[in-house]
Amino acid sequence: MGIFDPLISVAQQAGIFAFYLPFLITFALLYGLLSRAQIFGPKERMTNALNAIIAFSVALFVIGFTPAGVSVSQFFGTFFTQTTIVLVTFVVGIIVLVLLGETLGPPIYAYDKQGNKAPSGQRGFDIGKYGAIILGLVVLGVFINSGGLQALGLGGSATVIPGLSMQDIAILLFIGITVFLIYWVSK
């Protein structure tokens, strides 16, 4: 038994993960947005106090009322855990692409001042074109998988699209990615 096990157990029993941390995240995000947007005027003492009161009240409402049956702490815990896994996977993927791109990737071309294309002597992959699409799909997948649709009242616990299980959706997603990669490589 590690040194942190009793500490985490006491924190769970005290409701820190279920109430305090989701409250703190909601309060900080809302206060930051209200301060940045300056809805109530430029930053002054009264404006900051008003932003804090509104953020505090809304954060209490969010923690105290979950209409879809999904606890906020469960959603945040799943969402941040899966986001961390995706980020680690993304960083490892970039490392692999850089290592493979320098040896196996297509040549990278440079353009001179007249606009003439010439090989630069370097090799690599150009993922900038599809990076936003891939990032958007990853974010959407993490949101759906962590219970985001259920929190919005759009999905049940077993299916996201009526008649399709999560396994069916995963298979269709992999088929779509495979078709896209075949198209991208063969063009």
> Which own/partner contact pairs does 136-139 have at CB distance under 8 Å and 24+ positions apart?
138/86, 138/90
Question: What pLDDT does residue 132 have?
Answer: 66
The residues spanned by each domain of the chain are 4-64, 72-156
163-176 pLDDT tens trace: 777 667 767 777 78
Question: What pLDDT does residue 12 have?
Answer: 81
pTM: 0.46
pLDDT less than 50: residues of the chain:
158-159
Mean pLDDT of the chain: 74
